[in-house]
């Protein structure tokens, strides 16, 4: 299947693995790229050295195009982007920040750039910077989807910009791919679907818990990590979304957060205090979120942990390999396109 996205990015299928912290690791990235899609490494939790090693690992596992994702407002993200640019990674995907300098440097070596956005204003700004595609994240998505659903956001952005739009949020099968194309997208990114695959590092117990959940079993709350975020509906997630923050837990977890952000703890703690109660509470929530995410992803503990997942979890029924998922999506898309022609 060819679109402007597949042609420009040199991939066989218009299907992307988005950057998911602790999940989009080299093995999963390479599996998606080897299956004909575009795998994107999540660099959020990685230091510059770890990003470099991860890029080398991906290159050892695939000779196909791949990307790295950088959330520009997070500490360490610019350093990770620098590593990607120095390594001439084929695709850089940035979010939450001004990535004009990334576009300039990536284009100089023939690299491509994708901007992740949730509204028209940011899509137009990214187009002005010269990005090669927009990743539009709808409300259905796991984690930080915006307020507008994919059904409305994708056509709105496809009309607003002249570059390819990749829809994400709620896409997990061939019907979703054809629907996205009908809405004006030129590709889809599947987070929840690829996260429940054999190559995904998520604990088996958490993968099985996803299979047992329905389309209504998610929560969208700013009380988890300080930004509107979609998570699996579990007793712990419900408790977080309805209770005031636990200060003792936040204090304990702030040391882990400082380490993850590669910041001196005193600097983080007093810096957040000086910036006012809102920033302080946001950082306290982020500190607790990291611990909860690790419990679900690494330990399979969905009782005390919290798991990021989209509404489409209710449509995920099994744990196939990435290659099987890709074959299924492309075959179903072909069948649906044929049926629609009748």
Ligand X SMILES: Cc1cc2nc3c(=O)[nH]c(=O)nc-3n(C[C@H](O)[C@H](O)[C@H](O)COP(=O)(O)O)c2cc1C
Select from 18-26, 102-110, 282-290, 331-339 the region that touches ligand X (CB under 6 A).
18-26
**Contact residue for ligand X among 34, 51, 93, 137 (CB under 6 A):** 137
Q: Considering the rule CB under 6 A, would residue 169 count as an interface residue with ligand X?
A: yes
CA distance 126 to 120: 10
SS3 209: helix
Residue keyed to tokens 């923050």: 245
From 167-175, 238-246, 262-270, 314-322, span contacting ligand X (CB under 6 A): 167-175
- Please tell me whether residue 195 binds ligand X under the rule CB under 6 A: yes
Instruction: Please choose, from the candidates 153, 66, 84, 151, the residue with its C-alpha nearest in 3D space to the C-alpha of residue 117.
Output: 153
Q: Among residues 137 and 254, whose Cβ is nearest to ligand X?
A: 137
Q: Smallest distance from the beta carbon of 228 to ligand X, in angstroms?
A: 12
Question: Scanning residues 271 to 310, which ones bind ligand X (CB under 6 A)?
Answer: 308-310
C-alpha dihedral, 152 to 3 to 160 to 144, nearest 10°: 50
Question: Shortest CA distance to 190 belongs to which of 218, 165, 212, 170?
Answer: 170
Among the residue ranges 134-142, 151-159, 213-221, 263-271, the one whose residues contact ligand X (CB under 6 A): 134-142
# residues near ligand X by CB under 6 A = 25
Q: Which CB atom, from 64 or from 144, has the smaller least distance to ligand X?
A: 144
Nearest of 214, 178, 194 to residue 14 by alpha carbon: 178
Contact between 227 and 308 under an 8 Å Cβ cutoff? The reply is: no
Please choose, out of 26-34, 158-166, 190-198, 273-281, the segment that lies near ligand X by the rule CB under 6 A.
190-198
CB 230 within 8 A of CB 309: yes
Neighbours of 121 (CB within 10 A): 10
User: According to CB under 6 A, which one of 6, 16, 21, 74 is a site residue for ligand X?
Assistant: 21
Residues 250 and 245: their CA atoms lie apart, in Å, by 8
| DSSP secondary structure letters along 122-135 | HHHHHHHHT-SEEE
For ligand X, which residue of 5, 14, 16, 18 counts as binding (CB under 6 A)?
18
Smallest separation, CB 190 to ligand X (Å): 5
Residues in contact with ligand X, shown as a per-residue x/- string from 139 to 158 under the rule CB under 6 A: -xxxxx--------------
- DSSP letter for 66, please: E
Residues lying near ligand X in the complex (CB under 6 A) are found at: 18-21, 23, 42, 44, 137, 140-144, 168-171, 190-192, 195, 308-310, 312
């Amino acid at each position: 299947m060819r679109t402007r996205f597949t042609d420009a990015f040199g991939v066989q299928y218009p299907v992307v693995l988005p950057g998911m912290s602790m999940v989009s690791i080299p093995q999963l990235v390479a599996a998606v790229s080897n299956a004909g899609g575009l795998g994107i490494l999540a660099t959020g939790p990685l230091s510059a050295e770890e990003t470099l090693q991860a890029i080398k690992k991906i290159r050892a596992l695939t000779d196909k195009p791949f990307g790295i994702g950088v959330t520009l407002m997070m500490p360490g993200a610019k350093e990770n982007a620098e590593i990607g640019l120095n390594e001439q990674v084929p695709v850089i995907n940035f979010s939450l920040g001004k990535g004009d300098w990334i576009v300039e440097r990536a284009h100089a070596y023939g690299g491509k750039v994708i901007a992740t956005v949730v509204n028209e204003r940011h899509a137009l700004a990214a187009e002005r910077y010269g990005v090669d595609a927009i990743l539009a994240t709808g409300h259905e998505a796991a984690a930080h989807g915006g307020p507008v659903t994919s059904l409305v956001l994708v056509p709105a952005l496809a009309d607003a910009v002249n570059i390819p739009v990749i829809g994400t949020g709620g896409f997990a099968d061939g019907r979703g791919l054809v629907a996205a194309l009908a809405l004006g997208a030129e590709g889809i990114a599947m987070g929840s679907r690829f996260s429940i695959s054999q190559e995904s590092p998520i604990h088996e117990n958490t993968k099985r818990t996803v299979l047992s959940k329905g389309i209504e079993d998610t929560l969208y709350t700013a009380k988890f990590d300080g930004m509107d975020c979609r998570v699996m509906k579990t007793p712990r997630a419900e408790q977080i979304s309805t209770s005031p923050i636990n200060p003792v837990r936040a204090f304990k977890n702030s040391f882990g957060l400082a380490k993850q952000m590669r910041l001196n703890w005193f600097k983080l703690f007093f810096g957040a205090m000086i910036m006012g109660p809102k920033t302080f509470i946001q950082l306290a929530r982020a500190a607790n979120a990291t611990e909860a995410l690790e419990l679900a992803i690494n330990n399979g503990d969905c009782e005390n942990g919290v798991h990021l997942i989209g509404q489409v979890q209710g449509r995920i029924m099994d744990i196939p390999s990435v290659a099987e998922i890709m074959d299924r999506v492309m075959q179903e898309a072909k069948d649906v396109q044929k049926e629609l022609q009748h």
